[in-house]
A and B are shown apart, each in its own frame.
Chain A
């Protein structure tokens, strides 16, 4: 059976791993290669690297560290941040990344999704969606790397999920912004609603604080994977311990 994926996310800024709360106040966590190696050895199923600096400052990711990661781990990993065109995606993938994740550039130029899928195959193309609940609707935000740059793009999250699939996305990471970094659990209702229309793998992001949160998101919203950052970086939950727990809860995981 296809297992549920546990995916640590490493926010990278100037070559170092950092973590913010609701996208603000980044604090230093450590060296990306060290952390990547550690998570890989602990049986993380995949890693996501999000280059904050590239995305916010409109610069593209500098690529040397991607090669270092590829050389040091043998599990799949995805790179996000500042990937705006085929040329940049190609450079990132040829450095050894397995997938590229695009967010704001997909909103600004939806045709890029199809172009990427045609060039590299859908399995390489992850669409990151930052979804904000404005107390009425779930809406898509862009440039969320800093509070100054962030804006609502005028799209309903559900419609955008449908559109990116039609355009060739191979996976969707749904970041529920109201939950990011606050450790109160994933946004089960939103994820379950999106799951109904999402025919490609769906990854939950934002809100993990306890082992139970992972159990709930897999059981109640049937996502394919769960992404988390600070619970792993702070050693609050180890991946091994989490997987043992999920297995006890009859959730299929790789050990």
Chain B
């Protein structure tokens, strides 16, 4: 059973449908019992880091997630909150991965970074997943030693990060057609 955390974001339903499409059992997670009974967590994120953090606080999930030992997948803002800090509304985040989330500032780029961009993976389990994914983000994480998938928009940034049991993607696998399904299947194999 996958626990899909209710982050108050609008893509909760899309993530749920993506799992249904893959025949994966899930539960929308609003209490700690749901997390306890799960063998993996998905944190869908749309909107701002503060929204996601506020929802995690509301359900008292902060420590439960930090101490969770099974695989966790953070999507978009759900990934950004793995870092220490987000420049978006200056929000303190979970601090599972060192570094901060920054705003795209290159004047020659249209912001948000919106549409399909290419991701190159550098991770044995996800090597087959190279291809185009759907992004919709104004903030990003620099490449660091936990980056295992890169994307370029002006400069190169983290599209896929992995540290211990925490997996994060800046793109939206639930909206990325066949590649998105392939990626989700690869993540589910980590359970």
* B is bound to A: yes
- Closest chain A residue to B112 by CB distance? A123
Contact indicator per residue, chain B 7-33, by CB within 8 Å of chain A (1) or not (0): 000111110011011000000000000
B117:A3 contact, CB within 8 angstroms: yes
Give chain A's interface secondary structure class: loop
B180: interface (CB < 8 Å): yes
Q: How far is the CB of A94 from chain B (nearest CB, A)?
A: 6
B90 to chain A minimum Cβ distance, whole angstroms, is 15
**Prevailing SS type, chain B contact patch:** mixed
Structural contact, B46 and A201, CB atoms closer than 8 A: no
Q: Which residues of B contact A97 (CB under 8 A)?
A: 10
- Given the known A-B contacts A123-B137, A202-B110, are A74 and B47 also in contact in the complex, defined by CB atoms under 8 Å? no
Using a CB-CB cutoff of 8 Å, which residues 55-105 of chain A contact chain B? 67, 70-71, 74-76, 90, 93-98
- Report, as a range, how many residues of chain A touch the other chain: 35 or more
CA distance A166 to B138 in the complex (A): 15
**In the bound complex, do residue A199 and residue B111 qualify as a contact, i.e. CB atoms below 8 Å apart?**
yes
**Does B13 contact A94, Cβ atoms closer than 8 Å?**
yes
Contact of B177 among A75, A96, A199 (CB under 8 A): A75
Residues of A100-142 at the interface with B, using a CB-CB cut-off of 8 Å, are 119-124
Q: Collect the chain A residues with CB atoms within 8 Å of residue B134's CB.
A: 75-76
Minimum C-beta distance from A63 to chain B (A): 12
**B115–A74 touching, CB < 8 Å:** no
1/0 per position for B128-154, CB-CB distance to A under 8 A?
Answer: 000010111110000000000000110
Contacts of A93 in B (CB 8 A): 10
- 21 chain-A/chain-B pairs, Cβ below 8 angstroms: A2-B135, A3-B132, A5-B115, A40-B177, A71-B20, A74-B17, A74-B18, A75-B177, A76-B136, A90-B10, A93-B10, A94-B10, A96-B14, A97-B10, A122-B112, A123-B112, A124-B10, A199-B111, A200-B110, A200-B112, A224-B115
Given contacts A122-B138, A254-B132, whether A98 and B118 have CB atoms under 8 Å apart is no
Contacts of A201 in B (CB 8 A): 110, 112, 114-115
Task: Decide if B47 touches A121 in the complex (CB within 8 Å).
Answer: yes
- B110 engages A74 (CB within 8 Å): no
Give the residue name and chain of the A residue nearest to B136 (CB): A123
CA distance A127 to B181 in the complex (A): 30
| Residues of the A chain whose Cβ atoms lie less than 8 Å from the Cβ of B14 | 70, 74, 96, 98
B179 vs chain A, min Cβ distance (A): 9
Given contacts A94-B13, A124-B46, 12 further A-B contacts (CB under 8 A): A1-B118, A1-B152, A70-B17, A74-B18, A74-B177, A75-B134, A75-B177, A94-B10, A98-B14, A121-B48, A170-B112, A225-B115
The distance from the CB of B140 to the nearest CB of chain A, in whole angstroms, is: 13
